[in-house]
Structure 1
Amino acid sequence: MTFTDLTNNSLGNHTGHRIKGDNETEDYTNETSLSLALDLPALSVGVFLAVFIIFAIEGNIMVILSVACNRQLQTVTNYFIVNLAIADLLLSTTVLPFSATLEVLGFWAFGRIFCDIWAAVDVLCCTASIMSLCVISIDRYVGVKYSLKYPTIMTEKKAVVILILLWLSSMVISIGPLLGWKEPPPPDDSKCSITEEPGYALFSSLFSFYLPLLVILVMYFRVYIVARRTTKSLEAGVKKERNKSMEVVLRIHCRSVLEESCSSTRNNKGHTFRSSLSVRLLKFSREKKAAKTLAIVVGVFILCWLPFFFILPLGKSLYTSPPTH
């Protein structure tokens, strides 16, 4: 073998190694690009969920701080709203981050025990949130129906008792799976979902959603009826009082001094009545406005929850994880 042959073989071997290295680099580049392309949707979902969770946390904290820092907002109604914000804040901080992780990764990475705890906390927070809306609807009915007597009917002590009962009821509903009321766990610990055991699914759906929903619908329907009747009654009272005022003015100008004195007394009574009527109008207007605002919130909330609670008792959930707000 000549020197030229050795040189050509060496060059050939070197070229072959170089070509092989280029192919490996190209394959690695293609695999990396494909991996990035496949992970891009999951990454986009992760970013969206992270932003959503941050907004949920900030929004609920702002609601809580606005009531805590402003004495004028510290009313029984707003205490119920703060309780709703607390339930949603707990959901946003203790449940949603793990839901987002499950959604992005496609599997549960935190073990079977924490899966059971996480699912129970999810049910607890969601049930407390829905029951808070139920309590708010009852509070709005009392506020509209008995706008003047409302402060004596719905006191802070009663509100505290109601909130304690609310959380205790939520705990009773959510603790079932932790006590064994669920189907056998899957052998694969990377799977985690809310239990679809028929008995518990029906129980939790009934007491976490359908019964509170029934109360909410009945209360807001009655709020509508009361608001309509009261509005007509107050408008009629205003018109009647205006007519009486015109009669008093005519009598003052057309009758004697004695009659003026009597009319003046009646006018003072009329002024007291008008003041009472104005106060009632103002309070009723505020209560009705608050009821309308909360009715919109409740309506949107129900539309978001109804599909899940309709499917859950059937045991055909479309989700791989518990529901989120």
Structure 2
Amino acid sequence: MDLPSLTTLAVSTSTNTSVNNTLLPSATDVPDFLIERTWLKAMLISLYCIIFTLGCTGNCLVVYVVIRNKSMQTITNIFITNLAISDVMMCLLAVPFTPLSGLLQNWVFGEALCHIVPMTLGVSVHVSTLTSTAIAIDRYFVIVHPFKPRMKVFMCLLLIVSIWIISVSISLPLAIYQKVSWVQHEDAFICHEEWPKDTARQFFTVTSLILQYIVPCSIITFCYTKVSMKLHIRARTRIGTGTRTANRDELEMKRKRRTNKMLIAMVAIFVVCWLPLNLTHLTIEYKKKLPEGRYFLFVFFIAHVIAMSSTIYNPFLYAWMNENFKKEFKQVIPCLFRGGSGHLNGNASQYTTVDTQNTLVNRSPPKDRNGCGNETKALYDKEQGKVKLSVDNADT
């Protein structure tokens, strides 16, 4: 992803100065097409408010659902939780500061946030793409090479820590080369990038684009292509000798297909949402001069809104395409609003995951008047032929 552009534009006041005097048009070149149109500003602010609200609540709900239920803590779901955390971080920092600094035409948040906001935004986007790549690689080994040892939870957590360390390291220049400047003729402060050389900035731009967009997308495309081919081959082959075994394998195949469709949709949404903002920056970075400067601020905000909207789609995608997330959401939401109108019926929820070692089935009994209940877990070990039961309180 082209982070220098994103963070430079996201925290600068865009129309009243330029980055290194070359990237953005000056105030004398840009009539206030956006600033003078109150209805347009109101529309953009409303969109940002919707993104902020849905992005924070939806992704926090995803994190809570995975943390509260051990049966949801699969390798894929742990990676999904990491994605949700990075999206929350983006909502808290990128979404509010961008419209405020751009529409106010003044950076009023101080020197510290001028360094923190762009770096945090860069970290968030890097974490999202690297985590999506890790998910794709994990699915590749699970489906294409099913007899190889699966990734353990400890290794998954270690990989997530590594992703954050790498993301912070790559994004560090975004904090180092930020500064707050006073523009006297505009009577305003600006937060902008100031690199020692233009070549250094361009090198960082191209490197970021390769490491965070081209390489991950290539790996993800390869992994999911191989996964789809493998699932297609399996679908044409009769699996299992008995009727019950065949039915079980068919259900498992459908579940894996649905999961992979959801993961592919996640990646596709991310790539499509961030494409306009990347193209906007590439135009600025290499053309140096904007052909339609009077519309630039408006075009930038539209591209930025589309990019930020990528944070709100995933929770809806999980609820739509993943039965376990859907059932957990239905349980959790009434618990968060006890005494409200939301109330679940008495049907038991069931989650099933199948691997070569054991089968885990979670059953929840009828809910109490608050829509919450106890959770019963049954673990069947095929090797020992035993069933272990445990009861957890959903309120704890």
How many angstroms does 1:193 deviate by?
A: 5.0
1:206 corresponding residue in structure 2? 210
Kindly tell me the number of residue pairs found equivalent between the two proteins.
Answer: 251
Is 2:229 aligned against 1:225? yes
- In the alignment, the residues of structure 2 paired with residue 281 and residue 41 of structure 1 have an alpha-carbon distance, to the nearest angstrom, of 52
Q: Deviations over 1:204-231 (max 9, x none)?
A: 1111221111111111111111111121
Cα distance in structure 2, aligned partners of 1:303 and 1:231: 30
Whether the 8 Å contact between 1:201 and 1:312 is mirrored in structure 2 is no
1:304 equivalenced with 2:273 (yes/no): yes
Summarize the alignment of residues 97-112 of structure 1 with structure 2, pairs less than 5 Å apart. 97-112=96-111
Identity of aligned residues (%): 20
Contact 1:119–1:193 under 8 Å retained in 2: no
Letter aligned with residue 59 of structure 1: G
Question: Corresponding residue for 1:69?
Answer: 68
| Contact 1:173–1:207 (8 Å) recurs in 2 | no
Query: Which residue of structure 1 aligns with residue 43 of structure 2?
Result: 44
> How far apart, in 2, do the equivalents of 1:162 and 1:81 lie?
13
Aligned pair in 2 of structure 1 residues 185, 313: CA closer, same or farther (>3 Å)?
Answer: farther
Deviations for 1:57-77, whole angstroms, at most 9, x for unmatched residues?
001011111111222211111
Give the Cα separation in 1 of the matches to 2:276 and 2:45: 24
Structure 1 residues 150-299: aligned runs within 5 Å: 152-180=149-177, 188=183, 190-192=189-191, 197-234=201-238, 237=239, 241=241, 271=242, 277-299=246-268
- Give 1:113 shift: 4.4
Deviation readout 1:64-110 (Å, 9 max, x if unpaired): 11111222211111000000000001111122211131243233222
Asked if 2 retains the 8 angstrom alpha-carbon contact of 1:107 and 1:190, the reply is yes
Letter in 1 for 2:206: L
- The structural deviation recorded for 1:187 is 5.6
3-state SS, counterpart of residue 164 of structure 1: helix
Mapping 1:311-322, distance limit 5 Å:
311-313=280-282, 315=285, 319=300
**Residue 191 of structure 1: SS of its match in structure 2?**
strand
Is the contact between residue 198 and residue 313 of structure 1 (CA under 8 Å) also seen in structure 2? no
Contact 1:201 1:313 in 2 (8 A): no
- Which amino acid counterpart does residue 202 of structure 2 have in structure 1? P
| AA of the residue aligned to 1:76 | I
Q: Choose 104-113 or 76-85, whichever is displaced more.
A: 104-113
1:133 aligns with 2:132: yes
Structure 2: give runs of 5+ residues left out of the alignment.
1-34, 291-295, 311-396
Q: CA RMSD in A?
A: 3.0
1 or 2, which has the higher helix percentage? Answer: 1
Task: Tell me the amino acid that sits aligned with residue 66 of structure 1.
Answer: V
- TM-score, with structure 1 as normaliser: 0.68
Tell me the distance in 1 between the aligned counterparts of 2:236 and 2:103: 55
CA contact (8 A) 1:124 1:174 kept: yes
2 CA distance for matches of 1:193 and 1:122? 14
In structure 2, do the counterparts of structure 1 residues 129 and 193 end up closer, same or farther at CA, with 3 Å as the change threshold? Answer: farther
CA distance in 2, matches of 1:313, 1:200: 13
Residue 38 of structure 1 deviates from its aligned partner by 4.3
Larger CA deviation: 298-307 vs 311-320: 311-320
Distance 1:116 1:37, change over 3 A: closer
Determine which structure has the larger strand proportion and give its number: 2
Deviations 1:286-311 (A, max 9, x none): 22210011111211211112233345
Amino acid at match of 2:95: L
State the secondary structure of the residue aligned to 2:234. Answer: helix
On the 8 A contact 1:130/1:208 being kept in 2, the answer is yes
Report the 3-state secondary structure (helix = DSSP H, G, I; strand = E; otherwise coil) of the residue aligned with 1:192: strand
Q: Measured at CA, do residues 38 and 277 of structure 1 come closer, stay the same or move farther in structure 2, by a change above 3 Å?
A: closer
Find the counterpart in structure 1 of residue 342 from structure 2. none
SS at match of 1:176: helix
Q: Single out whichever of 185-194 and 167-176 deviates more from structure 2.
A: 185-194
Q: What is the rounded CA distance, in whole Å, between the counterparts of 2:36 and 2:97 in structure 1?
A: 24
Q: What is the rounded CA distance, in whole Å, between the counterparts of 1:86 and 1:194 in structure 2?
A: 26
Distance (whole Å) between structure 2 residues aligned to residue 138 and residue 63 of structure 1: 22
In the alignment, what sits opposite 2:83? 84
Cα distance in structure 1, aligned partners of 2:264 and 2:37: 43
